[in-house]
Amino acid sequence: MRLTVTVRGSGSVIVYRSTSKGHVVRADSRRFDATAGETVSFDLPLKPFIDGGWYWFDVEGGHSELVLEDAQWGFETDRVRSGRVTIGITTFNRPEFCVAQLANLATNPAVLEILDEVVVVDQGTNKVVDDAGYADAAAGLGSKLRIIDQPNLGGSGGFSRAMNEAVSMGASDYVLLLDDDVVCELEGILRAVAFADLVKRPSLVGGQMFSLYDRSVMHAYGESIAKYRWFWGPVAPSVHGHDFAKKSLRSTSWMHRRIDVDYNGWWMCLIPTQVIREIGLSLPMFIKWDDAEFGLRAGAHGYPTVTLPGAAVWHVPWTEKDDTLDWQAYFHERNRLVSALLHSPYPHGGKLVRESLENHVKRLMSMQYGTGEIILMALQDVLDGPDRMHHDILNRLQEVRALRDRYDDGQFQSELDAFPSPRRRSRRSGARASPVPTTTVGKAKMAAMGLVRQALPTRELSAEHPEGIVPHVDQRWYRLAHFDSAIVSTADGVAASWYRRDPGQFRDQMTRSVAMHARLYKEWDELAERWRSALPELTSPERWKLTFEGIDAE
């Protein structure tokens, strides 16, 4: 690397590097004493960075001030052409966010220079083109902007359309996927393209995610899949929600290690078009797991994913959401199982089938029967096989919502006053008097007690009055299992539902759940072969074209 700086005044520029352990080493320095601007370069080797580490520089004044006028990190390359990019934005009823993003893209000449097109796939009813600021934003991008209207096919349908458009046009080297509710730092786009231009093998280049509302908080440094239990999370040793206002890069030792990811979220992800031509578009998953599955599929074809520090977006944080309880629970369950059938290296998916059953039991013990029913729907759809996936991306959302709305946990009131006041025959009954387990043994004991309760009749008054009010932060299954009814608030705090225990519902769903999970475990290898055989057709542009047009070819 070559660091070139221009300074004016008296003082020093000191270049540091860190090791993968987070230790700081002084790499080089220069002293200055010049009234006019002076430019110097530092040639810095990359050999010590196999396991990680950073370069940075400090500017320190001397007997008078030292002014930094310019600085550039550079490199030597025989690549003389920058890659071209199509930006794909999927939006659903967020026109103000989307228009602001379009206006922002038009402000950077360097981005416009490498930009072939911005494709906005509008799947909502509140259209981007109807927003008051759209005309000005469109004028800034001119012929580089294209709006496409299509049915609501979720993130996977919107981003698949953007991928397909970029490949079909034939000019772009990359398609950059961006969520509609992000603020993108344009320098990050330039860095992502430059990095993708220079990698030894074609790679997906992802950006990190910071909180739009708390700008110093980094929600996602890098993502991985825990293969044995088949669930996503921060790649070790990173953590979600790191706050740079409290702990800087220099004092965060894990951040100096090299981080290898399995995939990058599609809040910002640059994908080479040659990868799309080879492996196809996204699976028709609607939402959840589409980005993870695509990253795993690309990796299996020899195309790794890199999450690049310095390429990032500010994103609406997920901290005030709980999409494991609402209609999205269907997509979580189905798509987690589908992606595991396609990519899990373990017999029977490792721990996944057992975890799926445990999760369903917890929902039933928590009186979340609506969520439990749509989880069973997801299980059945997986067992039915891949043939219905494109049909379901057009139809399943409405069916899932209608099914969940029939249950108490799917019905909401915006005010607690809408519910009867809490009452119970004995103040010692219910979860208020139950302990909170902190060990595995304690949780097992609590689970056993909760299971026994499911076979007992409900207590007096619980059908007419809730036994308590449970804030969302406290709605753990081992607490709710000891209520016969309770008012439970949503994650965002804008509504609440009245959960009621129903022994009949518990028995019915448990019976079906055990049978379905047993079948899933027994037929895992056969199902995996069916799903893997269907993958090329499910992800083909030809099959997707029918779905983009709203044609149900089941």
Q: Is 291 a catalytic residue?
A: yes
Identify the active-site residue in 122, 291, 326, 409.
291
Using the 8-state DSSP alphabet, how is residue 409 labeled? G
Residue given tokens 């629970």 in the structure block: 329
- Coil, helix or strand for 197? helix
188 and 285 in contact (C-beta within 8 Å)? no
C-alpha to C-alpha distance for 344 and 261, rounded to whole angstroms: 16
Tokens of 242: 């790191």
Q: Cβ contacts of residue 526 below 8 Å, gap of 6+?
A: none
Tell me which H or E stretch contains 338: helix 328-343
C-alpha to C-alpha distance for 192 and 204, rounded to whole angstroms: 9
**How many other CB atoms are found less than 10 A from the CB of residue 286?**
25
For β-strands 204-211 and 305-315, DSSP reports them as parallel
C-alpha to C-alpha distance for 262 and 305, rounded to whole angstroms: 6
513 and 460 in contact (C-beta within 8 Å)? no
**How many other CB atoms are found less than 10 A from the CB of residue 405?**
12
C-alpha to C-alpha distance for 344 and 337, rounded to whole angstroms: 10
C-alpha to C-alpha distance for 186 and 259, rounded to whole angstroms: 23
Alpha-carbon radius of gyration of the chain = 27
Alpha helices of 26-172 — where are they, by DSSP H?
95-105, 109-114, 134-141, 154-169
Query: 315 — alpha (psi -120 to 50), left (phi > 0) or beta?
Result: beta
Residue given tokens 């939402």 in the structure block: 287
174 and 111 in contact (C-beta within 8 Å)? no
Question: At residue 531, what is the residue type?
Answer: W
Q: What Cα–Cα distance (Å) separates residue 222 from each residue in 306, 315, 350?
A: 9, 15, 23
205 CA to centre of own chain: 15
Spatial CA neighbour of 411 closest among 466, 370, 359: 370
C-alpha to C-alpha distance for 100 and 428, rounded to whole angstroms: 54
Q: Cβ contacts of residue 450 below 8 Å, gap of 6+?
A: 365, 477, 478, 481, 482
284 and 389 in contact (C-beta within 8 Å)? yes
Q: Give me the active site residues, please.
A: 291
